[in-house]
């Protein structure tokens, strides 16, 4: 899935194992696995451009340093009950639950991101869904019109 210009690594994701697809209007892109992975198993090694700003599909390596992977990991969907963990120091993606062929690769954006490019309402459906997703060091932006809309639906649901 990565350009040939990247140094060879046998654990890079292969196009026969994964596919980046446009899920729907709301979620945008996602990555489907065609392979099964057991909990604890290495899913892939990721790579990409190292950048200093936060972009829509970037992943934080450390404060001020981000990975911009526009081929694979940058398109993982968020879930409050993720099926992978990203080790951003070693670029390792590990299954934290069993993954079946046809499952989306799901990460928790707050696992890697201090601050999100954009906060958003979550519809992952997990029992522990946080509802409104922010970075792990980020307060809710109550001035965000999307948040105001989200807050209204929460009030309506009570
Ligand atoms: Zn959620």
pLDDT tens digits for 131-148?
Answer: 999 999 999 999 999 999
**Cα-to-centroid distance, 131 and ligand 1 (Å):** 5
Confidence check: pLDDT of 24 > 90? no
Ligand 1 center–CA 8 separation, angstroms: 35
Average confidence score pLDDT of the chain: 95
- Residue 158: its pLDDT value, please? 61
Residue 35 half-sphere exposure toward CB, CA atoms < 13 A = 15
CA 139 to ligand 1 center in whole angstroms: 17
> Among 15-19, 26-30, 57-61, 83-87, which stretch is predicted with the lowest mean pLDDT?
26-30
- Ligand 1 mean position to 126 CA, how many Å? 6
Integer CA distances (angstroms), 81 to 85, 110, 153, in order: 11, 11, 22
Place of tokens 């599909």: 57
Q: How far is the CA of 105 from the centre of ligand 1 (A)?
A: 14
Say if residues 99 and 79 touch (Cβ distance below 8 Å): no
H or E element at residue 149: helix 145-157
| Ligand 1 centre distance from Cα of residue 29 (Å) | 16
Looking at residues 30-59, what average pLDDT do you find?
Answer: 97
Is residue 30 scored above 70 in pLDDT?
A: yes
The candidate with the shortest Cα–Cα distance to 123, out of 55, 155, 77, 56, is 77
Pick the CATH number of 18-112 from 2.170.270.10, 2.60.40.10, 3.50.50.60, 3.40.50.300: 2.170.270.10
Q: What is the mean pLDDT of residues 7-17?
A: 96
Measured in Å, residue 58 CA sits from the centre of ligand 1 at 20
* Domain residue spans of the chain: 18-112
Does the pTM exceed 0.85? yes
Task: Give me the mean pLDDT over the 108-134 stretch.
Answer: 96
Residue 157 has pLDDT above 80, yes or no: no
% pLDDT > 70, the chain:
99
| The pLDDT value given to residue 33 | 98
CA of 57 to the centre of ligand 1 (A): 18
């Amino acid at each position: 899935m990565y350009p040939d210009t990247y140094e060879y690594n046998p654990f890079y994701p292969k196009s026969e194992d994964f596919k980046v697809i446009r899920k729907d209007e709301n979620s945008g892109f996602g990555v489907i696995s065609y392979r099964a992975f057991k909990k604890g198993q290495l899913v892939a090694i990721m790579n990409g451009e190292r950048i200093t700003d936060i972009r829509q599909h970037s992943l934080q390596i450390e404060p001020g340093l981000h990975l911009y992977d526009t081929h694979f990991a940058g398109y993982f969907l968020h879930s409050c009950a993720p099926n992978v963990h990203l080790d951003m120091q070693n670029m390792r993606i590990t299954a934290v639950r069993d993954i079946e062929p046809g499952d989306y690769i799901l990460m928790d954006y707050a696992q890697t991101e201090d601050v999100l490019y954009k906060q958003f309402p979550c519809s992952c459906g997990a029992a522990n869904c946080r509802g409104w997703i922010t970075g792990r060091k980020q307060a809710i932006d109550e001035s965000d019109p999307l948040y105001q809309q989200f807050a209204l639906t929460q009030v309506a649901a009570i």
